[in-house]
Amino acid sequence: MSKTILFQGDSITDAGRGREDDLQANLQLGTGYAQMSAAYLLEKHVEQNLQIFNRGISGNRVVDLYARWKKDCLNIRPDVLSILIGVNDTGHERGSQNGVEVERYERVYRELLAWTKETLPNIRFILCEPFILDSSGWEEKWVTDVHKRGAVVKKLATEFNAPLVPFQLTFNEVLGIAEASYWAPDGVHPSLAGHQLMAEKWIEAYETI
């Protein structure tokens, strides 16, 4: 019996993935942590006959996920769903006053999870903490806003019995090894090393379920 894994999110998950509507599993997963995680799992867990999809879209906010959720999530019918979303909910407000306030972010995110659980009762979630590194040049209020979204995701992980991938904490811990720009040149989009670090932490979460 095969197991289906779906990665959802914004540009960090997208990472240049393929765009064909009929894109098959395990193909064109991008160049980021989703692809790196998939490569590891496909090699280590041959017996699971994994079918892995990436439906991240650059620029997405949580409301954008909601708008495409049936097509890009429920219709795929994943057994495991990974979500990383939040930095654009802050960033779009900072850049074009089209963000999603923290309280609405929480409500919509919770509704996504509840809708998914109602449709796919046996699904397991992996929730990823949104993050921002100090090299971003963002004002402190926007950095704080991203951190608030991380707190929301931690709460939802507890509420939905899901492992949390602590990306913010993970990046904070390696800043003593190399400067922030080594891990994410603009403070948001990871470098190759940053994506590998994310993949390692994501795999740790997957192995707990």
Active-site residue (options: 10, 11, 37, 89): 11
Residue 8 CB-half CA count within 13 A: 31
Active-site residue (options: 134, 135, 181, 186): 186
List the beta bridge partners of residue 6. Answer: 53, 81
Tokens of 81: 């769903």
Considering only CA atoms, give the Rg of the chain. Answer: 16
Pairwise CA distance, residues 12 & 14, whole Å: 6
Q: Which residues of 118-145 are buried (b: 16+ CB within 10 A; e: fewer)?
A: eebeebbbbbbbbbbbebbebeeebbeb
**Are the CB atoms for 52 and 199 separated by under 8 Å?**
no
Active-site residue (options: 72, 134, 147, 189): 189
Active-site residue, 186 included? yes
Active-site residue, 195 included? no
In a 10 Å sphere around its CB, with 0-12 CB exposed, 13-18 middle and 19+ buried, how is residue 176 labelled?
A: exposed
Residue with tokens 């090699």: 43
Active-site residue, 45 included? no
Question: Which residues are part of the catalytic machinery?
Answer: 11, 186, 189
